[in-house]
C-alpha cells in the first residue's frame, strides 16, 4: 500500500508540474474570496481518486474537492490533491500532495510529496518516518527563543473569533522566528524533519494534517489539539512539535472554542 501511495502521489506531482505557472484566468475559480481552486487541484484529485478506486474499490475516500466516496470499510483514504493552492497559483514552490490511509479510525500510512522541492516524505505506523531513504527525527530544542515555528491563518480570518493574530504576536516575541509557508502538510513534514521545532494552526481539515501528524509522531514528536487532547485530525486545530516545546507553544495560545468552528478552511 505504501508503494502504491508513493507512486500515485508522484504521478499527481507530475500533473501539478504540468500546469505550474501556466494557469489562465479561467483555470482558477473561487470557493471564497481567498479560497481558490484550480484546474490542477481538480485534475490531481481525479487522478488520485481514480487510482485508489481501481486498486482498492471497497475503501472509503475523503478528498478535499469532493470527488471521494463513503463506503462501509475499515479503510479510509484522506486526500489533499494540492496543499498550498495559493502558493501554487502565484508560482511559489511550497505546495504538495498529501495522502493518508486510516484503518479503524487510526492513521496508519502517509505520503507527502512536494514536487518542486523534490521531496517525498513517507510514514507507516510503527515503522518510522522518512524523507526518501533518510529516517527522520524531530529536533531537540527545548526553549522557545531557540525555536523556529510555523503557523497559518484561516481564509475566513476576519469572520472568526479566533483569527490567530494574537497567538502569532505572542509567539513572534517568544520564538527565534515564526514562518508562514502556506502549506500545512509541508509545515508538518518540516517538524518531522527537524527543520521546524513546532507548528500550530486553527481551522485545518483532515486532509491538511492526517499524513503529516503521523510523520511527526513516528519521528519522535508530539501532536495534540490546542487543549492537549487527541482531536486534531477532525477537530480543526492542532499543535505539532518536537515534544520538548509543546507546552510552551500551548501556553501562548488562546483557547479554541468548538462553537467557533467553521466549515471554511484556511489559506
Question: Which stretches of the chain bind Ca ion, using CB under 5 A?
Answer: 64, 80, 82-83, 208
Alpha-carbon distance of 33 to 50, in angstroms, equals 30
DSSP state of 154: B
In the bound complex, what is the minimum distance in angstroms from residue 142's beta carbon to Ca ion?
30
Q: Which residue has the closest beta carbon to ligand IPD?
A: 266
Rounded CA-CA distance 254/236 in Å is: 15
Q: Which residues contact ligand IPD (rule: CB under 6 A)?
A: 80, 83-85, 152, 182-184, 201, 204, 208, 265-267
Q: Is 108 helix (H, G, I), strand (E, B) or coil?
A: strand
Output the smallest distance, CB 208 to Ca ion, in A: 4
Nearer Cβ to ligand IPD, position 247 or 260? Answer: 260
Q: Give 82 or 99: the residue with its C-beta nearer to Ca ion.
A: 82
174, interface contact from Ca ion, ligand IPD, none, CB < 5-8 Å by kind: none
Helix then strand count (H, E) for the chain reads 7, 14
Nearest 10 degrees: CA dihedral of 5, 235, 139, 145?
150
In terms of CB distance, is 84 or 110 closer to ligand IPD?
Answer: 84
Residue placing its CB nearer to Ca ion in the complex, 192 or 248: 192
Binding partner at 62 among Ca ion, ligand IPD, none, C-beta below 5 to 8 Å by kind: none
- Nearest to ligand IPD of 13, 84 (CB atom): 84
Q: In angstroms, what is the minimal distance from the CB of 151 to ligand IPD?
A: 8
Closest C-alpha among 220, 219, 218, 213 to residue 199: 213
Pairwise CA distance, residues 52 & 196, whole Å: 32
Rounded least distance, CB 90 to ligand IPD, Å? 12
Closest CA to 201 of 193, 210, 209: 209
C-alpha cell belonging to residue 145: 527563543
Interaction partner, residue 266 (Ca ion, ligand IPD, none; CB < 5-8 Å by kind)? ligand IPD
Question: CA distances (Å), 130 to each of 32, 94, 115, 218, in order?
Answer: 35, 19, 16, 9
Amino acid at each position: 500500500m505504501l508503494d502504491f501511495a508513493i507512486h500515485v502521489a508522484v504521478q499527481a506531482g507530475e500533473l501539478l508540474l504540468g500546469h505550474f505557472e501556466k494557469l489562465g484566468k479561467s483555470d482558477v475559480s473561487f470557493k471564497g474570496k481567498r479560497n481558490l481552486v484550480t484546474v490542477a487541484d481538480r485534475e490531481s484529485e481525479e487522478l488520485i481518486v481514480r487510482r485508489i478506486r481501481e486498486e482498492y474499490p471497497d475503501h472509503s475516500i475523503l478528498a478535499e474537492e469532493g470527488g471521494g466516496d463513503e463506503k462501509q470499510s475499515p479503510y479510509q483514504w484522506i486526500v489533499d490533491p494540492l496543499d498550498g493552492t495559493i502558493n501554487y497559483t502565484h508560482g511559489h514552490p511550497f505546495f504538495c500532495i498529501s495522502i493518508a490511509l486510516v484503518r479503524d479510525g487510526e492513521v496508519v500510512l502517509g505520503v507527502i510529496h512536494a514536487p518542486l522541492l523534490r521531496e517525498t516524505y513517507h510514514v507507516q505506523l510503527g515503522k518510522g518516518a522518512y524523507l526518501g531513504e533518510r529516517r527522520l527525527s524531530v529536533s531537540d530544542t527545548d526553549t522557545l527563543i531557540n525555536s523556529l515555528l510555523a503557523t497559518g491563518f484561516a481564509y475566513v480570518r476576519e469572520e472568526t473569533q479566533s483569527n490567530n493574530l494574537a497567538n502569532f504576536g505572542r509567539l513572534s516575541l517568544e520564538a527565534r522566528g515564526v514562518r508562514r509557508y502556506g502549506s500545512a502538510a509541508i509545515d508538518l513534514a518540516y517538524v518531522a524533519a527537524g527543520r521546524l521545532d513546532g507548528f500550530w494552526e486553527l481551522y485545518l481539515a483532515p486532509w491538511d494534517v492526517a499524513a503529516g501528524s503521523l510523520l511527526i509522531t513516528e519521528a519522535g514528536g508530539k501532536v495534540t489539539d490546542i487543549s492537549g487532547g487527541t482531536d486534531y485530525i477532525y477537530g480543526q486545530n492542532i499543535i505539532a512539535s518536537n515534544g520538548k516545546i509543546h507546552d510552551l507553544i500551548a501556553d501562548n495560545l488562546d483557547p479554541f472554542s468548538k462553537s467557533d468552528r467553521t466549515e471554511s478552511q484556511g489559506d
